[in-house]
Amino acid sequence: MEATVYNQKGEKKGVVTLPEAVFGVLWNGDLVHQVMTAMEANARTPIAHTKNRGEVSGGGKKPWRQKGTGRARHGSTRSPIWVGGGVAHGPRNDKNYNQKINKKMRAKALYTALSQKFRDNEILFVDELSLGGRAKEGKQVLSDLAKVKGFEMLATKETNAALIALDADVVGTTRGFQNFRNVMTMLAMDMNPVRLLTYKYLIVTNPEKSVAAWSARMGGKKSVNT
């Protein structure tokens, strides 16, 4: 399984051999959905919070005697059925939404998403990105890469156009794209299905090192040939 490698000007530079275990996995929608749902739940920060009847102020005294008034029985004015009372079954910020994700499930979901994007011709391999930290340079790189067949939307899609997987944390490259709302940069080793499937295209820098980082998640080969 091979793919063409380009430079940041959109010119062909060579070929990279990709591992079948990472880019040849059949689509498994149930697995991807389960992993993505769990990851989004784990990233959730509960904010909404309501007080129950034991937390609202007041209501210590029985509003009227139990019998003889002709009215319904009540023991507190802070019951959920009273105005100003506590809330029954409302949202609480101490609720735990965490879900367990096995390492192999997470890795397999990533491989599944990568394989599907590769089949859809939505992964662009670039030997390296060298920017000085200016947005003007980042815009030029996107324009040049948009000349590659199948990646024309890199220069026209307003949001979620491309996720750039960097083999190393390069400050100049990160700053060159940080003001673009349609592009996001992250380290290849931190790649996950949620980020990957949010963006239309995936731009992979230094394919040998980046793919090796993904292969290592399942104990696969740590290098590929060019």
Categorize the per-residue pLDDT at 1 as very low, low, confident or very high, splitting at 50, 70 and 90.
confident
Quick check: pTM over 0.95? no
- Domain 2-44+99-218 fold is Ribosomal Protein L4; Chain: A; (3.40.1370)
Q: How many residues does the chain have?
A: 226
% residues pLDDT > 90 (the chain):
86
Mean pLDDT of the chain: 91
pLDDT tens readout for residues 30-71? 999 999 999 999 999 999 999 999 999 988 889 999 999 999
* SS3 category, 49: coil
pLDDT tens readout for residues 179-198? 998 999 999 999 999 999 99
Per-residue pLDDT at 151? 94
Can you give the residue ranges of every domain in the chain?
Answer: 2-44+99-218, 48-96
Q: What one-character DSSP code corresponds to residue 217?
A: G
